[in-house]
Amino acid sequence: MVALSLPQNSSVQLRTSLLPQKTPNLNRALQLPLNDITLRGMRSKGTRVVRRICLAISEKESLGSMDAVAKNSSPIIVIDNYDSFTYNLCQYMGELGCNFEVYRNDELTVDELRKKNPRGILISPGPGAPQDSGISLQTVLELGPEVPLFGVCMGLQCIGEAFGGKVVRSPYGVMHGKSSLVYHNEGGEDGLFAGISNPFTVGRYHSLVIDRDTFPDVLEMTAWTEDGLVMAARHKVHRHLLGVQFHPESIITTEGKTIVSNFIKLIESKEAVSAPTPVQPLTQDDLKKLAADKAVEYVSSGMVLGLGTGSTAAFVVDKIGQLLASGQLTNIIGVPTSKRTQEQAASLGIPLSILDDHPKLDLAIDGADEVDPDLNLVKGRGGALLREKMVEAASDKFVVVVDDSKLVTGLGGSGLAMPVEVVQFCWKYNLVRLQELFKSEGCDAKLRLDGDGKPYVTDNMNYIVDLYFKTPIKDAWSAGKEISAFEGVVEHGLFLDMTTAVIIAGKDGVSVKSPLRSNQEWFVASFYILLSCWLVGGSWNV
């Protein structure tokens, strides 16, 4: 049972996953007058349980500077990581006059969340690690740059991990309901700690922290304990993206409600700044630069980077060179995917290497020619598909940068080339075989020519056969296997299940999409754990 004590004259909408369908004392359980409670979206599933009941609170008589908050019809969205403290945070926001809605972390997708047009997002505490937080990590990456976002406890850990940091066990053990003094360096009007004592007392309920040794360069630490543990952080560029490790809603935290109020004020100040109207529409190069700048946020000092090839990737390499020259990045090593990129990177002073010397890369950034809804790619129209695939397959993370013209409903759907690199020996033989392979799909196979009308030669001294499909490829996985089975085929331009994130620039701004693999991987892992237990113990009672 969740108990909320909210001010009078409040309208309430409750969203929770499990609530008894017959609760005669519902008003007493929530400590609110029954006539103040609005239940909508009720739906039972035969188990005497009401699911998907919505909760939002808006105070009719808001206080002081919170008048504008109450008048704003867009909600603050709270992502509930299955933690009872979530509703204590909600209570603070309700008392401050906020309109908000609470959704469990597996109750909606990031795209569905975006369509709700939230004025702010709060990621709640929760059990486990960031990998257990449903859409929270993806929300940080996709919506954090656009929408004010406040992470609490595991919410802060999600921010740290999303930008490349590691979340580790606290060296000082489990802190559950314990108080600590916290110091901060952010007393300005736009900070979480405006008007907060320094130091001040907080309540801590966690066993994990962001590792100081891998703390992301794109973040700044804004609060810490006496023993140096990260207690708060903020994005250096997107200043509205921030979080705390402690619990501001805990009674132990002496000034927690002020911190929540400061987050709401931050939302208000961002809303007060109207975006300037562009004098002219953004060009395709403008969009590519926007995507490239966003991609470089994934880069941290000390990384070994795969440097892509193509017009969009060139903007990424330029940006990395600028950051190295200014000292904002240090100790970067680049592994180029083409001679063209090698020359560009060398001219910018980027130290270079090859896979022989650095067989494991931290990150690769590259463009793409097509991106399907599952974030599979067609690449290689720039002629570097073999080296691109080798470098990007050797990378822990692969970030793709495109403008929205590259989005397709299915690979091959643009009507442009899907390249296949073949050896020069008997290239016509393979061209005919490739065309015959996809004859039923109306495929036309052509040898790629250079500007002089001669066969285009790759950096690896091979030719390229371009396949032109009239309709999207029906089964890209099967197509890739069948193409690779031909003797004389070196590589194809289908990059399947390789992406970590795709950054897309369009007229409405930059968005980030990530493959939805986590639930599938969790299911497979859980299945094998259960199977192992059954094989060992002969029982499913684990």
CATH number at residue 90: 3.40.50.880
Return the higher-pLDDT residue of 218 and 31.
Answer: 218
Of 423, 503, 499, 496, which is closest to residue 464 (Cα–Cα)? 423
Distance CA 90, CA 87 (A): 5
What pLDDT does 81 receive?
95
Domain end: 229, 244, 271, which one?
Answer: 271
Query: Per the domain annotation, does 161 fall within a domain?
Result: yes
Query: Per the domain annotation, does 438 fall within a domain?
Result: yes
Residue 4, pLDDT > 70, answer no
What pLDDT does 277 receive?
54
Query: Per the domain annotation, does 42 fall within a domain?
Result: no
List the domain range (segments joined by +) for residue 165.
Answer: 59-271
Distance CA 239, CA 250 (A): 25
What are the structure tokens assigned to 282, written together? 């953004």
Return the higher-pLDDT residue of 253 and 73.
Answer: 253
Residues 146 and 252 in one domain: yes
Return the higher-pLDDT residue of 442 and 161.
Answer: 161
**Domain of residue 443, CATH code:** 3.40.50.1360
Residues 267 and 300 in one domain: no
pLDDT band at 286 (very low <50, low <70, confident <90, very high): confident
What pLDDT does 537 receive?
57
Distance CA 413, CA 418 (A): 10
Residue 408, pLDDT > 60, answer yes
Query: Per the domain annotation, does 343 fall within a domain?
Result: yes
Which residues partner with 51 through β-bridges? 43
Residues 295 and 391 in one domain: yes
Query: Per the domain annotation, does 156 fall within a domain?
Result: yes
Kindly report the pTM of this predicted structure: 0.51
Q: Compute CA 201 distance to the chain's CA centroid, rounded to the nearest angstrom.
A: 32
Return the higher-pLDDT residue of 506 and 148.
Answer: 148
| pLDDT > 90 fraction of the chain, expressed in percent and rounded | 64
pLDDT band at 285 (very low <50, low <70, confident <90, very high): confident
Residues 68 and 173 in one domain: yes
Per the structure, the count of domains in the chain is 2
Residues 237 and 300 in one domain: no
Sequence-distant (6+) residues with CB within 8 A of 467 are: 412, 417, 418, 419, 420, 434, 435, 438, 443, 444, 445
Query: Per the domain annotation, does 524 fall within a domain?
Result: no
pLDDT tens track for 99-110: 899 999 999 999
Distance CA 534, CA 441 (A): 47
Highest mean pLDDT: which of 279-288, 314-323, 505-514?
314-323
Q: Compute CA 193 distance to the chain's CA centroid, rounded to the nearest angstrom.
A: 26
What are the structure tokens assigned to 206, written together? 């966690």
- Asked if residue 359 has a cis previous peptide bond (ω within 30° of 0), the answer is no
Neighbours of 347 (CB within 10 A): 10
pLDDT tens track for 452-498: 899 999 999 999 999 999 899 999 999 999 999 999 999 999 999 99
Residues 297 and 416 in one domain: yes
Residues 238 and 325 in one domain: no
Domain end: 271, 302, 330, which one?
Answer: 271
What are the structure tokens assigned to 34, written together? 């029954």
Residues 259 and 310 in one domain: no
Residue 336, pLDDT > 90, answer yes
Mean per-residue pLDDT for 171-194? 87
Mean per-residue pLDDT for 15-36? 34
pLDDT tens track for 187-246: 667 789 999 999 999 999 999 999 999 999 889 999 999 999 999 999 998 989 999 999
Mean per-residue pLDDT for 366-385? 93
Question: Would the CA dihedral through 434, 436, 441, 447 be positive or negative?
Answer: positive
pLDDT tens track for 489-541: 999 999 999 999 999 988 778 889 988 654 455 555 566 666 665 665 554 44
Buried b (16+ CB within 10 A) or exposed e, 239-265: ebbbbbbbbbbbebbebbbbbbbbbbb
Residues 242 and 341 in one domain: no
Write out the H or E segment, with its range, that includes residue 339: helix 339-347
| pLDDT > 70 fraction of the chain, expressed in percent and rounded | 80
What pLDDT does 510 receive?
86
What pLDDT does 271 receive?
82
Sequence-distant (6+) residues with CB within 8 A of 99 are: 56, 57, 58, 69, 70, 72, 73, 74, 75, 76
pLDDT tens track for 73-87: 689 999 999 998 898
What pLDDT does 507 receive?
78
Return the higher-pLDDT residue of 373 and 56.
Answer: 373
Query: Per the domain annotation, does 523 fall within a domain?
Result: no
Residues 369 and 473 in one domain: yes
What pLDDT does 520 receive?
52
Count Cβ atoms within 10 A of the Cβ of residue 380 and give its class: 0-12 exposed, 13-18 middle, 19 or more buried: buried
What pLDDT does 281 receive?
73
Q: Which phi and psi (to 5°) does residue 14 adopt?
A: -105, 130
Distance CA 518, CA 535 (A): 26
Residues 307 and 427 in one domain: yes
Return the higher-pLDDT residue of 23 and 518.
Answer: 518
Contact 332, 320 (CB under 8 A): yes
Residues 173 and 123 in one domain: yes
Residue 46, pLDDT > 60, answer no
Query: Per the domain annotation, does 416 fall within a domain?
Result: yes
Residue 70, pLDDT > 70, answer no
Contact 275, 301 (CB under 8 A): no
Domain end: 227, 250, 271, which one?
Answer: 271
What are the residue numbers of the active site?
A: 153, 247, 249
What pLDDT does 34 receive?
30
What pLDDT does 518 receive?
45
What pLDDT does 275 receive?
52
Return the higher-pLDDT residue of 44 and 389.
Answer: 389
DSSP 416: S
